[in-house]
A and B are shown apart, each in its own frame.
Chain A
Amino acid sequence: MLTTELIGAWFSVFLTLGIISYLYDDNPFYKAAEHIFVGVSAGYWVSLFFWTQVQPNLFGRLWPRLTEGTEYGFFHRLWYGIYNILGSINSGIFPENGIEGHPEIRMIYLIPLILGIFMLLRLVPKVGWLARWAIAYIVGMAAGLRFYGFLNSDVMEQIKSTTINFSGDWIVLINGIIMVVGTLTGLLYFFFSKEHTGVFGKLSKIGIYFLMISFGASFGFAVMGRISLLIGRFDDLIKYSGREYHNATFWLLALMILLLFVWAFTGKKEQDKATA
């Protein structure tokens, strides 16, 4: 019987094999899988951002749900008058009496709302320059925030980490000394205003060796992670090759190989014709 699970399984196998088929050139299967992936995900993220961020966290804070039986003043009535106009346009986004989730109006959220509108004004060429204000705010705010964060985590914590317990065993002690030497020589490599020659050059070279060793370890670790991802995909392919899924993997694999063979053959013929 044709169930959603069965259709999903066949589609999943098709997309997996389509993406893997990238190993054999930029073929139509890869193109199809890529375009579906990009298009669907772009739409999905827009929807996700709107319903998890913009609607509950922005509109929800500006127009929280009104408590029944409470008398509200002029400002509230005016403010929710605007909301009701928006609600008459789309009651899904702006449900009656406000949005659930936040206890009181937070007018400070007008700033992100205005900056967001500025970003959208890019569509109007005459006032498109206003988008720069929003970008400037994001960059400036992020620079200030990160400065504190980096100074704390990358500098202060690093200084504190150079401590070694001399009363510990030899292995810990040697390990600690190696870490300190690696950190200091690694830092020397990142001196830009001094020429890397002589003793300084040699020390910075030791630093780069430490960096390369750490990169190697990181590379190996990440490759192991990727292998586990690959195993995950193969697990699914094996699962969907079963009888309950009508041998989806086998059928689609055979079909794709056949079609790729035809595509490669005709493509080559066309290429030969073009070069002739």
Chain B
Amino acid sequence: MNKRALIMAGIGAVIILIYFQLLKAGYIFREGNEPMFVAIILVSLTILYYTDRAKRGEEIYLRPIAGLTALEEAVGRATEMGKSVLFVPGIMDMDQVETVSGLIILGYVAEMTAQYEAGLNVPVSKSIVMEAARETCKESYLKQGRPDQYYDDMVHYLTDDQFAYAAGVNGIMLREKPAACFYQGKFYAESLILAETGNSIGAIQIAGTGSPSQIPFFVTACDYTLIGEEFFTASAYLSKRPELLGSIKGQDIVKLLVMICMVIVFIASGLHHNGWIDFDILTLFTSR
């Protein structure tokens, strides 16, 4: 364990100590959420530690994800065919993590369309998403030195209604026949409608969502699908920024800790249920 890890552990211990002292004194914090507080501190410090390591130049390996490497291939294909690229950022607002992740991927896609001079069409269903998506696209076109190619209407509002939005996007697909369709964001029942239409027009389709119930539809109808967390890590993969890469490593360590906790709970609860130990481990993980 190196010096920085010890410092982090020390900081964590001090914060937790102060928290319990304040809790005992009855100030600021209320009782019953101790497990959550400790978990938040542990998760935050673990991610912070690995982010710091990455920033200091430590190389972090990331396994390849097919869906992300295919993004460029899809935009390239659209450019070769002289057709546009359709990007659907889901049907939810900016308060959903999936939508934010989707817009980060949109930024990357917009950079490529600017670079290759391919058309980009982004129909949205929420006004705030429209604003954010416009900002994202504008920045990407500026970054690529092609501000002249950017126009506000490449990101346009359709409707807030779920199925009306699906019908509108379907119409766009059938009329414009984009060569590449990206579905990156939060989706509900419209996912299969969109993906099936994209499939019927022969577009290369790349989907990404954190909605477990919609992943099966995308897996069925799309060429590539970013499943759950693959989708959330896309920003780190695409940007290659050390702080984001470090956070991926940190999250992996958190997952490992969670797995260890699961195994401990599995064994300890089994022993408790059989009456071999009195202590119920579940009380350690129960918040109010």
Interface check B269, CB cutoff 8 A: yes
Interface 1/0s, chain B 254-271, versus A by CB < 8 A? Answer: 011011011101100110
Interface 1/0s, chain A 162-176, versus B by CB < 8 A? Answer: 111111000000000
Interfacial residues of chain B within 222-265, with CB under 8 A of chain A in the complex = 227-230, 233, 248-249, 251-252, 255-256, 258-259, 261-263, 265
A3-11, A86-94, A193-201, A266-274: which one contacts chain B?
A: A193-201
| Bound: A135/B164 CA distance, A | 25
Interface check B145, CB cutoff 8 A: no
Q: A180-B266, A187-B258, A215-B219 are in contact. Are A151 and B233 (CB under 8 A)?
A: no
The answer to whether A156 touches B270, judged by C-beta atoms less than 8 angstroms apart, is no
| Bound: A80/B155 CA distance, A | 40
The answer to whether A45 touches B161, judged by C-beta atoms less than 8 angstroms apart, is yes
Interface check B285, CB cutoff 8 A: yes
| Bound: A139/B93 CA distance, A | 10
Other A-B pairs beyond A151-B40, A163-B282, A166-B270, 11, CB < 8 Å: A26-B175, A31-B171, A34-B167, A42-B160, A45-B161, A142-B95, A146-B95, A190-B230, A192-B252, A219-B217, A225-B189
Interface 1/0s, chain A 127-145, versus B by CB < 8 A? Answer: 0000110110011011101
| Bound: A143/B104 CA distance, A | 15
Interface contact tally, CB-CB below 8 A: 184
Which residues of B have CB within 8 Å of A39? 159
Which residues of B have CB within 8 Å of A162? 262-263, 265-266, 269
The answer to whether A135 touches B132, judged by C-beta atoms less than 8 angstroms apart, is yes
Interface check A240, CB cutoff 8 A: no
Give the residue among A30, A158, A190, A192 with the most B Cβ atoms within 10 A. Answer: A192
Minimal beta-carbon separation of B139 from chain A (angstroms):
11
What are 11 A-B pairs with beta-carbon distances under 8 A?
Answer: A38-B168, A45-B160, A45-B161, A138-B128, A156-B36, A156-B285, A184-B263, A190-B255, A191-B255, A195-B61, A222-B189
* Contacting residue for B227 out of A122, A167, A211, CB 8 A: A211
Classify the secondary structure of A's interface with B: helix
- Nearest opposing residue in chain B for A146, CB measure: B97
Give the residue among B35, B157, B213, B259 with the most A Cβ atoms within 10 A. Answer: B259
The answer to whether A41 touches B94, judged by C-beta atoms less than 8 angstroms apart, is no
Interfacial residues of chain A within 104-131, with CB under 8 A of chain B in the complex = 119, 122, 131
The answer to whether A184 touches B259, judged by C-beta atoms less than 8 angstroms apart, is yes
Interface check B274, CB cutoff 8 A: yes
Which residues of A have CB within 8 Å of B258? 155, 158-159, 187
The answer to whether B286 touches A160, judged by C-beta atoms less than 8 angstroms apart, is yes
The answer to whether A222 touches B213, judged by C-beta atoms less than 8 angstroms apart, is yes
The answer to whether B229 touches A218, judged by C-beta atoms less than 8 angstroms apart, is no
Interface check B131, CB cutoff 8 A: yes
| Bound: A222/B262 CA distance, A | 30
The answer to whether B96 touches A142, judged by C-beta atoms less than 8 angstroms apart, is yes
Interface check B170, CB cutoff 8 A: yes
* Contacting residue for A159 out of B36, B160, B219, B285, CB 8 A: B285
The answer to whether B216 touches A192, judged by C-beta atoms less than 8 angstroms apart, is no
Which residues of A have CB within 8 Å of B65? 192
Q: A30-B171, A45-B159, A156-B285 are in contact. Are A192 and B265 (CB under 8 A)?
A: no
The answer to whether B248 touches A192, judged by C-beta atoms less than 8 angstroms apart, is yes
Q: Which 4 A-B pairs have the closest CB atoms?
A: A41-B161, A142-B95, A26-B174, A163-B269
Interfacial residues of chain A within 1-57, with CB under 8 A of chain B in the complex = 19, 22, 25-26, 30-31, 33-35, 37-42, 44-45, 49
Which residues of B have CB within 8 Å of A183? 262
Which residues of A have CB within 8 Å of B227? 211
Q: A138-B128, A215-B215, A222-B213 are in contact. Are A193 and B164 (CB under 8 A)?
A: no
* Contacting residue for A164 out of B63, B95, B266, CB 8 A: B266
The answer to whether B262 touches A158, judged by C-beta atoms less than 8 angstroms apart, is yes
Interface 1/0s, chain A 71-82, versus B by CB < 8 A? Answer: 000000000000
The answer to whether A152 touches B36, judged by C-beta atoms less than 8 angstroms apart, is yes
Interface check B158, CB cutoff 8 A: yes
The answer to whether A163 touches B265, judged by C-beta atoms less than 8 angstroms apart, is yes
